[in-house]
Amino acid sequence: MSTTENKHYIDGKWVIGCGTQFSSRNVVDNTILWQGRSATEDEIDSAYHAANNACTTWACLDFEARAEYIMRFAKHVEEKRDAFIKLISLETGKPHWEASTEVNSVINKVAISIEAHHERLHAQSYTMADTVQAIRYKPHGVVAVLGPFNFPAHLSNGHIIPALLAGNTIIYKPSELTPAVAALIMQCWHKSNIPAGVINCIHGDAITAKALLDKNIQGVYFTGSYATGVQISTQLGNRPEVILALEMGGNNPLVIDDTLHDLDAAVYNTIISSFITAGQRCTCARRVIIPNNDLGNDFIQRLLIATKQLTVGMPLQRPEPFIGPVIGHSHALKHLAAQSALQAAGGIPLLPMTLLQAGSGLLSPGILDMTWVLNPPDEEIFAPLIQIYRYTDFDEAIMLANQTRYGLVAGLFSAEEKRYQQFYRKVRAGLINWNKPTTGAVSTLPFGGVGISGNHRPSGYFAADYCAYPIASLEQPALSAPTQNIPGIKI
């Protein structure tokens, strides 16, 4: 463990915390990966003042100068690629292959965000008579980024990079479940020589986040659960001037159409949609909606066989597993309790999700038939668990897909484009995929949902939109009076 891993990063310096001690552990052997302290009120104050003091200077830099610091950051991430991959694997439980894709996303986000900034925040001007009509953009100021545990490097980075490019300064509060990855991220920012105060990192849990949101920040960028998003909105309810970008998960439907010919492809892409990252992606398909006929029965049988053969294991296991553990043993127990509640409501276990190793987060993927359950709970269960629902016709399939307050992603596997067009018109979601996994989001497109999945401020390529606000200006070189005054004015 390096000397900086257990510290906050405030005003360009590593600061030993004085708050409550906490730690994160290696998922393989349960040894301590990171141990530090939550930020105190004074430390949060220091981070805010550092970010506030750096605001004007950072915002006044040319865009190219800001981008240069950020490209240096990406270079240092690339240099530490192997360390990042190993640390993400050990702290989150992701297999090496998946941790590697996350590091790639962090690096690639820089070029994509620079392109998005130029496209989304492009200054424009028009001349009419002697007046210039101009549209330009300004940063909000000090913004808080509250990071999740499932993609501790990539998803936080997806807010941080566009916010810095737009000229904001940042206080970053990573998940208390993945502080070691955050510490390595901050080492890369420190090595980029970014000016002191532009990006600060404080560690802690929900109490720390709540204290941070009480500061005079101008924006909050959050990825996490709906319940936490509601708490953030409630806390800032009397401060409508604070811009919120909330991404709050989904209870996502995947519809299997009876026009399909390649059921093996449907099974493969269902597994990718539902079980990747041990079900810990907000885009995972939670509800798989299948035809109530022979094709649906055949699909289920193939899905059960393929699921039983999936490799679940620790991240350093060789050959590599498809999925590792969920983020912790306590989370695994919570997910098993959620499965029990679904069974108590009438769900039929076709393949029960089980704990594979005592004291771990290793869960075998599970499949429940919920077809005959009245009013099933509309919840995001962040685990490798599929709920099956059967339909008699395609209109009913769409109705079942829409039986959720969430609206992040919806997917359709179908051989007919007209079915997809019908699905696209009627389903309610911010991401709608046809014959692609629901987990196939890319940074070159917007990412966000409707309903309780978000607040209509998508991230991804559109993140630039919530990182700056438009300024409308009417400008002319010299002040002049009209040739004819408005009635009632005599000069």
Q: Give 279-311 pLDDT, tens digit per residue.
A: 999 999 999 999 999 999 999 999 999 999 999
322: CATH? 3.40.309.10
Phi, psi at residue 366, to the nearest 5°? Answer: -125, 155
Q: What is the mean pLDDT of residues 88-103?
A: 97
CA distance 3 to 24: 16
> pLDDT band for position 186 (50/70/90)?
very high
Asked whether residue 296 falls in the same domain as residue 239, the answer is no
Strand-pair partners of 468:
139
pLDDT over 50 at 2, yes or no: no
Residue 479 lies in a domain: no
Burial of 80 (0-12, 13-18, 19+ CB in 10 A): middle
Q: Give 11-49 pLDDT, tens digit per residue.
A: 999 999 999 999 999 998 889 999 999 999 999 999 999
Q: What is the mean pLDDT of residues 392-414?
A: 98
Asked, as a colleague might, if the bond just before 319 is cis with ω within 30 of 0, I would say yes
Exposure string (b/e) for 297-329, b if CB count within 10 Å is 16 or more?
eebbebbeeebeeeebbbbbeeeebbbbbbbbb
Asked whether residue 185 falls in the same domain as residue 261, the answer is no
Closest CA to 371 of 261, 297, 309, 443: 297
Query: Over the Cα atoms of the chain, what is R_g?
Result: 25
Higher-confidence residue: 316 or 383?
383
Asked whether residue 464 falls in the same domain as residue 429, the answer is no
Overall domain count for the chain? 2
Which candidate in 247, 284, 380, 467 is catalytic? 247
Q: What is the mean pLDDT of residues 77-84?
A: 97
Kindly report whether the global pTM for this prediction surpasses the value 0.75: yes
What pLDDT does residue 12 have? 97
Which candidate in 282, 284, 380, 467 is catalytic? 282
CA distance 415 to 412: 10
> pLDDT band for position 359 (50/70/90)?
very high
Q: Catalytic site residue 282? A: yes
Asked whether residue 49 falls in the same domain as residue 194, the answer is yes
Closest CA to 144 of 168, 180, 114, 113: 168
Q: What is the mean pLDDT of residues 206-233?
A: 97
Helix H, strand E, coil C: the string for 342-396 is: HHHCCCEEEECCCECCCCCCCECCEEEECCCCCCCCCCCCCCCEEEEEEECCHHH
Residue 463 lies in a domain: yes
Q: Is residue 255 within 8 Å of residue 398, measured between CB atoms?
A: yes
Strand-pair partners of 173:
146
Residue 478 lies in a domain: no
Asked whether residue 151 falls in the same domain as residue 262, the answer is no
Angle between helices 294-308 and 263-275 (to 10 degrees): 50
What pLDDT does residue 491 have? 85
What pLDDT does residue 5 have? 61
Angle between helices 81-92 and 96-120 (to 10 degrees): 110
Q: What is the mean pLDDT of residues 253-261?
A: 96
Distances (CA, A) of 156 to 46, 256, 328, 459: 21, 33, 20, 11
Asked whether residue 411 falls in the same domain as residue 467, the answer is no
CA distance 208 to 214: 10
Residue 1 lies in a domain: no
Q: Catalytic site residue 396? A: no
pLDDT over 50 at 3, yes or no: no
Domain that holds residue 206: 7-248+454-473
Asked whether residue 76 falls in the same domain as residue 142, the answer is yes
69: CATH? 3.40.605.10
CA distance 429 to 320: 34
CA distance 207 to 4: 23
Asked whether residue 336 falls in the same domain as residue 368, the answer is yes
Q: What is the mean pLDDT of residues 234-258?
A: 97
Asked whether residue 238 falls in the same domain as residue 257, the answer is no
Q: Is residue 208 within 8 Å of residue 173, measured between CB atoms?
A: yes
**Average pLDDT, whole number, for the chain?**
96
In the chain, the percentage of residues whose pLDDT exceeds 70 is 99
The two tokens of residue 49 are 């003042």
pLDDT over 80 at 447, yes or no: yes
Asked whether residue 63 falls in the same domain as residue 185, the answer is yes
What pLDDT does residue 1 have? 42
Residue 444 lies in a domain: no
Asked whether residue 111 falls in the same domain as residue 178, the answer is yes
Q: Give 409-437 pLDDT, tens digit per residue.
A: 999 999 999 999 999 999 999 999 999 99
pLDDT over 80 at 4, yes or no: no
Task: Tell me the helices (H) and strands (E) count for the chain, helix number first.
Answer: 13, 21
Asked whether residue 359 falls in the same domain as residue 265, the answer is yes
Residue 125 lies in a domain: yes
CA distance 240 to 2: 41
Place of tokens 């039986």: 403
Residue 480 lies in a domain: no
Q: What is the mean pLDDT of residues 213-231?
A: 97
CA distance 355 to 179: 26
Residue 449 lies in a domain: no
